[in-house]
Every structure is written in structure tokens, then in C-alpha cells.
Structure 1
Amino acid sequence: MRVLLLDLDSMRPDHLGCYGYGRDTSPNIDRIAAEGVRFTNYYTSDAPCLPSRTALMTGQFGIHNGVVGHSGTAADIRSEGIGRGFRDRLVTDSMPALFRRSGMKTALISPFGERHSSWNFYAGFNEMYNTGKGGMESAEEVSPVVLDWIERNGDQDDWMLYVNFWDPHTPYRAPESLGNPFAGDPLPAWITDDVLAAHTRKVGPHSASEIGMYDNRTSPEYPRHPGEIRNRDELRRMIDGYDCGVRHMDDHIGAIFALLEQKGLMDDLIVIITADHGENQGELGIYGEHATADQGTCRIPMIIRWPGLTKGSVHEGLHYHLDLLPTLADMLNLEHAASWDGASYADVLRSEEADGREYLVVSQCAHVCQRSVRFGDWLYIRTYHDGYHLFDREMLFNLKDDPYEQRNLAQERPDMCKEAVYLLYEWHDSMMASMQHDVDPLWTVIKEGGPTHAKGELPRYVERLQATGRGHAVPELMKRHPREFADSGR
């Protein structure tokens, strides 16, 4: 058995052709989707990067493994404490350890452990290749390492190769030699002139006026990445920059597939294609960032081609990315680890008759502190720290009618908000009752000064708001975040 897992950082599914995108961004990924199962309602449990990959590798929600943020206590995986044995739980319960239990060699090509000092990310791999730029790699720097590994190891039996590509992640970095294959394609129809004008007035990091998070600076090193979006030309630069990154990455994925075919390995290869999170491209007025617990950030692709099983099907059930571990365990005929929070969907791969979960709860604590409930056609978002976006405490969106989250229905549909809150607290009670610790790490983030990418930034952001004609928002920011102003001495 041979397995290739492609982890495509910041890859939102609806910018892939196989998910219905009108632009030709992903012909090689699309081919795999046509030969396997494509999941349409697949979500990371914890966003963004570090919480998501920690949940994937441990099979646990962030509330259980402790990693929900990008700094402070909530960026370190929880100690097993007095119950820890000679070796820790990851030796047997992590995703690569699962393949090791099945007698397979495991290899990782990724800089991610170093990027976030997430050394537990390496647990269970026989070989680790750090591509060396901490996530600033472009595909032409990653694929040669992959091709070399396949040349040296591909003919062996029983391996799992995990590969990270980074091109959809900001800043958009596709080389100029690619040109712009999307220059003549239409922009997203939902971002009308009126919508874009409203976005330019929005307050918050990574708004249309601050693509660089808290400012509009650009870098000559990344000409595809704008500093702000004031008009449709700059909007095109943003959308086309992202899509060029996807296409550049897909071209290199195609080169990997070509080598596997040349070596006669492709027909029997299990291919898994997924991501750590998506990338908002206008949802909630945010561009080029994965900063919220919403659809744009937390919905991710999942494509599984398992030769000899279900082919060319689409599954619409709700699933978490951490459901992958128990699914793989079932497919490999291995026991489930007691520590896992996931539920297997192996039946989806074996046939088309299987359901998903009743609802999902997803979390974001690195840019904002939010928990969201995804149920039926609805997405309910509850905000605990707004990351200076001035979000309403409760937001409710009907994703069937409003997939880009333009109309908050919380005031109009209190009945659906109440249902969502009930589900949120059912989940929370279950999580708290099933762990040794009595602290929810979301509140750890807040007690330690707030989410990483908002901490300490408010004073200088206030100056920018005043300088750009949005000073009207400052009193409300001061009201919501008095501690930040007090700490700054203002």
C-alpha cells in the first residue's frame, strides 16, 4: 500500500474546478476528484494553521489537546501529566503513528514544525524534510524535494508521504513567469460595486483597506499581493493572485503525478488532498486571511481516491478533518485510539450510503476568539473577542441563500440562534466532561491578553483609522477593549 497526502495550505474548496469553480485553477486535482470521493461539507475543527494541524495529527479538538491559538499557553500541546508513560500518547495515537502501526514507512515534507515551533507535528514520521523557509516556500521549491523522494523510495512497498504546499497562503507568490491565466475571467459576481464600497469602509485587520493586517503596505517581492482594495482593478489583483497561486501549485502537483505514472505507481496509489483551512476572499469583509470561525476560513477540501472503492462520487454530509484518523484506522483494520474525538466515515469510501454528523462546532482563537455552529443550512457565529473587527456578538447566516455571509439574520431569527446556542453548549459540556483539565483554552487566550494577531495592535490601528477617515469606530473599540488602551498608556 502506498499513500500520498497533499496538505494545501489556505486552500478554499470553491476555488477548485472540481468544487464548481469557473476558472481553470486545478486540472490535476480535479482529475483525482473524478476518480475518488469529494466531500463538500468538510471543516477544520480549529482554525487557523497551528490549531488545525494539531487537531489533525492528534485526532483531538483544540479544547482537548490545548492548542487553539498561535502564542502563549494555548499554543502548546497539553502535557499528559502524571499519567504519561515512558513514551507519550502521540507515539501510538498520531496520524503518522497510525500508518506505522500498519507497517508502513512514513515521510514528511514540510517546514511546518519549525514555522510554529510545533515539534509534536513530527511525531511518528520516519523521515522529515524541512523545506527551509517557514511556510514562505513556493511550489518550485517544494516539488523537487518530493520528486527526489519518489525517485529514491517510490518503488518500495508500504509508504505514506505527507507533503505541504503553501502557494495559496498569503502573500501570493506565484512566479511572474506564470503570467496571469485568469486575466480575462470574471470576478466573483457577489462582490458588486456596492459590496466593495461597503468593504472599504469596514473596520478590522485584513479589511479591504488593510490587506497587510493593520496597514496597506506592499512588497516588491510579492507583486501579485495588493496592500488595499479600493476598486475593481485591485480586487482583480487580489482574486487573481490567489488563483495564480492555486494554479502554480496544481502544475507542480501534476509533475508529481506524472512521475508516479512514469514509475507505474499511480494506478494503485491512495491519494488524499486536503487543507488546514480556507482563505476569506471578501466574506465578513475580510480579504486574504483565515481569521474567523466562518465558512470562508473553516470549510476545507477533502478528496480521497482509494483505488478499488467508491469512484467519482460527492458526499454532502458534515465532517471534521479530525474524523480522518478513525476513518483511516477502519480502512487499515486497526483499533481506534481512546483519545480520538473523531468519527469514522469509512462507509462513505466503501459505498455512497452514509450520513455525516448532525452538527459541527468550529473554533478560531488566533485572530479573534469565536466558536461557530454549522447545522442544516445555517452557520451561527458567537464572538468572544472581535479582534478589532466590531463583529456583532451573535451572527447567523443561511448558507444556502447567502454563502458569502452578507446578511446577518441573528435579529430576525432568534429561534435559530437559540437552537445553535443549545448545540454549542451541548458540545461544550461534552468536551469539558471528557477531559482531565477544567480550563477551556479559549478563555486562556482571552485571559493572556487576547488572540495573537490582535494583541498589542490596537493603539497603532486607532491611529490608522483616524488617518483614513474611519475614526468614528474608535469610541466603540475603546468601549470593547479598554484593557488594550489602558496597557498602552492612552
Structure 2
Amino acid sequence: MFKHIILSGCLQSLFCLQLFAQQPAETPPNIILILADDMGYGQLGCYGQQIVRTPNIDTLAARGIRFTGYYAGCSVCAPSREALMTGMHTGHTAIRGNFRLAVDDGNLPMAANHPTLAEYLKSQGYRTALFGKWGVGDSLTGPGSRGFDESLCYMDQMKAHNYYPPYLWKDDKRLPLEANEGGRHGVYSHSLFVEKTLEFIRKSRPGQPFFLYLPYTIPHGDYMLPPDTPYIKQPWPEALKTYATMVSLLDRDVGRILSLLKEKGLAENTLILFTSDNGANAGPAKLFRANGPFRGAKLSLYEGGIREPFIACWPARIKAGRVTRHVTAAWDLLPTLCQIAGVRPSVPVDGISFLPALLGKGQQPQHPFLYWELYDYNYNWQKPGNRLPRNWLQSRAVRMGKWKGIQNNVYKDKQAAIALYDLEKDPGEQHDAAAEHPDIISRIKTIFARSSTPDPPYFPYRAVHN
């Protein structure tokens, strides 16, 4: 039995190849992938939010399908985005944690030998664009080098904390923003991304599908807004008033996108996907229950750090008002969207297409397990007196059927105990059942041993990279 549970990424990819025989012959849809930043599972009304209003995103869910078992690629920005873009989980990605480079603008690049989702779709005639945060490369490995025809973005994820930046990057070239020079708050970056989004849709042409990747930076901190908030009278800390307003602003702009698609006659055959890169920070998680009923937050591999909202709306193909418990993850997006576009991944991937679950037709293959690992970054590594390395393996986790295993503080103790949770009975991960199920723990240890490519560049960091 156990040999059926431990499958390599190559073997898992065979499921994807088998599914391509089911590829529908209809005109390929436009695809819009909206990736919120630091928005937890419980931050939307359709996922139980009671305080912050999200009527447009809730409408999107009502018109399509809502997933309750979707997971982000990781619990922090960069590795989560590479998993989404390449179809690989964080045991196989080049980026396995945030990592600050010495260069002024840029982050570690994604693996060069794994084509991105944009590259595959572009090969099928899709017009491609990205507006928001890149965070997985620099000006030499920016969106233009990885399949995007157009882009306006932050290249560096740390610079993306400032919503009034002195410059952005347009088509991999620096674009000065004069209105923000000298620390002025002249133009709000999110507003620029939304205007470029609407302009791109307006310029769309019949007969050429488009892929629009929108990794918007809100509601990630720093919590900065133009001086208006619908929550101004609430007795909350100022930062959380701003956070709530950012969520409402994102919802408003989703509404603007939906309205324009309807106006252009594109709504029926446009697949809109909405999700987030990782869970919310502890503050929003506590006040708004932004991570729903789950334990943990951003930077944690507990459910609150990686279980995310996932909504898909495609009126021409997806029946409205559906909810699915299918367990899936960010690395499944690439094979799913490739199948829709009619292109096979040219290299093995860890993802499995969830198109049958999306359409409610055909047999849906299941993952034998999902795997994550998370490296922590030491931002004080160069300071006097520091004794810790530049980064280290902090946590790793497995979802296997109803079971969730998580091992924390791996750097300090490679034999650290693995906690085990029955997510059907204990979705809040409160009762460690490891002592009661040594057989499951043994399986998880084997998955840990086989699911990670050893010694990836920079994880852990080695002095040779100085």
C-alpha cells in the first residue's frame, strides 16, 4: 500500500498527461489570475468573514466554484509564487524561503529549467501581462524573460512594502514616478496596477486569448492608503483600519474588472481565478479571524499559514454556486491551465490538473500527498554578535488524506518531533495524535526524506555564494 503513497513528481505528472485527452475543443478562454498578498482563508464574506465587506468577490464565488481545500505554495511570498508559476512544490523549487540579495532591486530568480505558466500560455498564442509584484527575480530575470509580453511591477518584494514608491518596473525597465519623488505621496501603486489592468482588457482583440496575472500587493503591509477609509469610526488600531480598507479596495477593483469584462462581451469565456499567496499576519488574523478557524498565520505551515481561499468563475463552463472539498495546491494551477489551453508541460511537474473538479465532469485524480518546506531568513546575519546562519530550514509539512504532519524547528533538531493532526476531526490542529498513530508518522518521515531535492542553491545558504 505504501508504495502507492510515495510518488515522485515525475510519476504524479503522468496524471496530467492522461488528462489531456479530455481537453475540450471550444475556443480557449481568457484567463485572469488574481493573487492577493497576505489575505487569509477567512477574510472574504463567502468564507465566513463577518466584519470586512467583500461583495464583489463574493459575487464571483456565487457565479462559479469555491474551493475549501486549496493550499498556497508556501506560507511566505517568494517560494509560494514560484510554486504557482512553475508547478513545483517547495521541495523542488529553487526558492524555498524569502532571501534578501545584496543588489538594490531584485530577489532570487526561479529555476531556469522549469518553464513558467506564462511561457506555456504564450506558446499557445495567449497575450500575457503581469501587473503587481514580481518578487522572483531581478531586471535580468524579470517578467519579460519568463513569458510576459507586458508588465508593470515591483521587482523587489521588500520595495513593495512602500505603496508610494519613487519608481516601478515597466517591461523590465525602471519607470520613475515623479509624483512620489522625495517621499511624496502622489500616486498609489495599486491604483496604477488596476488602471493598467483595465487598459489591457480594453485593448484585447477578438480571436486572441489573454492571460492576465495580477499579483496585487494589497492587503500586505506597510499599511498605507490614500486618506479615505470606510472604517474610520471603528475602534480598531489604525493599521488594522487600513488593512480592512485595503481588502475593501481590492474587492472594489475586482468589481471594476467584472464590469469591464461584461461591457466588452468577454465575461462568458473568461476564467477568473482568485486566491492569495499565504495567510494573513497575526494582527488581522486575531481581530478579523482573517485565517478562518485555522491555527497559525503567515510564516507558519499550520493551516492558517497555507490554507487559502480559491475561487474560479467561468460562466461558459463552470456551473454557478458550487463548492468543492477537493484538496489541491498552487502547483496544480500550471497543469490545470495548460490543459485548458491545450499545451502539455515540457518537463515533469509536481502538480495535477484539477480541471475535472473545476468543471464537475470526469474522474479527478487525487494527490497521494502535498509537501511543503519553509526556510527562515536571518535579516541580522551580518550584524556584530550574530551567531545564526543566514537562513535555515524552519519547518516542513505534509497533507496526506485527512492527516496533516508538521515538523517545526528542524534547524535546531533534525529529529524534532512530528506533530500529527486529523483535519477531519481537528481542523484547528489542536490535538496532536502522533502517539496514537506511529504508522502514519513513519509514512510522513519517508515522505520528508524523499520529497526534497538536497542542497538547493541558497537553501541553506553557503559561503560560496558571497
CA distance in 2, matches of 1:117, 1:62: 24
Deviation string, structure 1 residues 168-209 (Cα, Å, up to 9, x no partner): 21233344412318949xx9xxxxxxxxxxxxxxxxxxxxxx
Q: 1:280-335: per-residue Cα shift (whole Å, max 9, x none)?
A: 43779999962111211111222122232232211112111111111112222222
User: What code does the residue aligned with 1:104 have?
Assistant: Y
SS in 2 for 1:65: coil
> Which residue in 2 is equivalent to 1:361?
371
SS in 1 for 2:198: helix
Shift of 1:117: 7.2
Matched, 1:42 2:81: no
Residue 210 of structure 2 is matched in structure 1 by 159
Check if 1:296 corresponds to 2:321. no
Q: CA 1:397 to 1:170, structure 2 compared with 1: closer, same or farther past 3 Å? A: farther
Give the distance between the partners of 1:242 and 1:404, measured in 2 at CA.
24
Look up the match of 1:109.
131
| Paired AA for residue 360 in structure 2 | S
Q: Deviations over 1:58-82 (max 9, x none)?
A: 2112332321022279x74576xxx
1:127-170 alpha-carbon deviations (Å, 9 max, x no partner)? 11126852533643431222232233366731111112222212
Match of 1:488 in 2: none
User: In structure 2, what is the Cα distance between the partners aligned to 1:175 and 1:400?
Assistant: 43
Farther off after superposition, 129-138 or 168-177: 129-138
1:181 and 1:337 map into 2 onto residues whose CA distance is 51
Matched residue, 2:460: 445
CA RMSD in angstroms comes to 3.6
CA distance in 2, matches of 1:270, 1:141: 23
Aligned counterparts of 2:286 and 2:411: Cα–Cα separation in 1 = 12
Inter-partner Cα distance in structure 1 for 2:256 and 2:30: 18
Give matches, 1:247-262, under 5 Å: 247-262=248-263
Q: 1:334 aligns with which of 343, 348, 355?
A: 343
1:414 lines up with 2:442 in the alignment: no
Instruction: Confirm or deny: 8 A CA contact 2:405 2:441 kept in the other structure.
Output: yes
Contact 2:134 2:154 in 1 (8 A): no
1:229-252 Cα deviation digits (max 9, x unpaired): xxxxxxxxx4x5543321121112
- Give the aligned partner of residue 22 of structure 2: none
Q: State the partner residue of 2:352.
A: 343
Q: Is the Cα–Cα contact under 8 Å of residues 23 and 182 in structure 1 kept in the other structure?
A: no
Please say if 1:325 is aligned against 2:326: no
Separation in structure 1 between the aligned mates of residue 332 and residue 195 of structure 2, nearest angstrom = 31
SS in 1 for 2:228: helix
- Distance of 1:397 and 1:126 partners within structure 2: 44
- Name the SS for the 1:374 alignment partner: strand
One-letter code aligned to 1:102 = Q
Q: Does residue 51 of structure 1 match 2:52?
A: no
- Superposition pairs for residues 465-480 of structure 1, below 5 Å? none
Aligned ranges for residues 57-456 of structure 1 at < 5 Å?
A: 57-71=85-99, 76-77=108-109, 89-90=113-114, 93-113=115-135, 119=141, 121-122=143-144, 123-130=146-153, 134-137=160-163, 139-153=190-204, 157-180=208-231, 183=234, 224-225=238-239, 238=240, 241-281=242-282, 290-311=298-319, 312-351=321-360, 354=364, 356-366=366-376, 369-385=394-410, 393-400=417-424, 402-405=426-429, 407=430, 409-410=431-432, 413-416=434-437, 419-426=440-447, 428-432=449-453, 438-439=454-455, 444-445=459-460
How far did residue 270 of structure 1 move?
A: 1.4
Structure 1 pair 420–117 and aligned structure 2 pair: CA distance change class (3 A) = farther
Displacement of 1:271: 0.7
Q: Do the aligned residues in 2 keep the contact of 1:50 with 1:118 (CA within 8 Å)?
A: no
Amino acid at match of 1:445: P
Amino acid at match of 1:299: R
- 2:14 matched to which residue of 1? none
The DSSP-based 3-state class of the residue aligned with 1:160 is strand
Cα 1:110/1:421, change in 2 over 3 Å:
farther
Mapped to 1, the partners of 2:142 and 2:435 lie a distance apart of 42
Partner of 2:185: none
Could you list the runs of 5+ residues in structure 1 that have no partner in the other structure? 80-87, 188-222, 226-237, 433-437, 449-490
Matches of 1:98 and 1:313 in 2, distance apart?
29
- In the alignment, what sits opposite 1:475? none
Question: Aligned to 2:208, what secondary structure does the other structure show?
Answer: coil
Distance 1:38 1:118, change over 3 A: farther
In 2, Cα distance between equivalents of 1:35 and 1:335 = 29
Q: Distance in 1 between matches of 2:233 and 2:271?
A: 31
Instruction: Tell me: CA distance 1:320–1:348, structure 2 relative to 1, closer, same or farther (3 Å).
Output: same
Aligned length: 375
TM-score normalized with structure 2 length: 0.70
How big is each residue's C-alpha offset from its partner over 1:47-106, in whole Å with a ceiling of 9 and x where there is no partner?
Answer: 311111111112112332321022279x74576xxxxxxxx545xx31001211221111
Amino acid at match of 1:171: D
After TM superposition, give the deviation of residue 413 of structure 1 in Å: 3.9
SS in 1 for 2:327: strand
- Distance in 2, matches of 1:418 and 1:121, equals 45
8 Å contact kept, 2:373–2:396: yes
**Aligned 8 A contact 1:309 1:351 in 2:** no
Q: How far did residue 415 of structure 1 move?
A: 3.0
Which secondary structure does the structure 1 equivalent of 2:408 belong to? strand
Residue 97 of structure 2: SS of its match in structure 1?
A: coil
Measure, in 1, the Cα distance between the counterparts of 2:456 and 2:373: 12
Identity of aligned pairs, percent? 26
**Aligned partner of 1:26 among 48, 54, 64:** 54
Q: What is the TM-score of this pair, normalised by structure 1?
A: 0.67
The one-character-per-residue Cα deviations of 1:403-446 (angstroms, maximum 9, x if unpaired) are 444x3x33x541346514523423541554xxxxx42679x427
Q: Which has the higher contact order (CA 8 A, sep 6+)?
A: 2
The structure-2 alpha-carbon separation of the partners of 1:425 and 1:117, relative to structure 1 and needing over 3 Å to count, comes to: farther
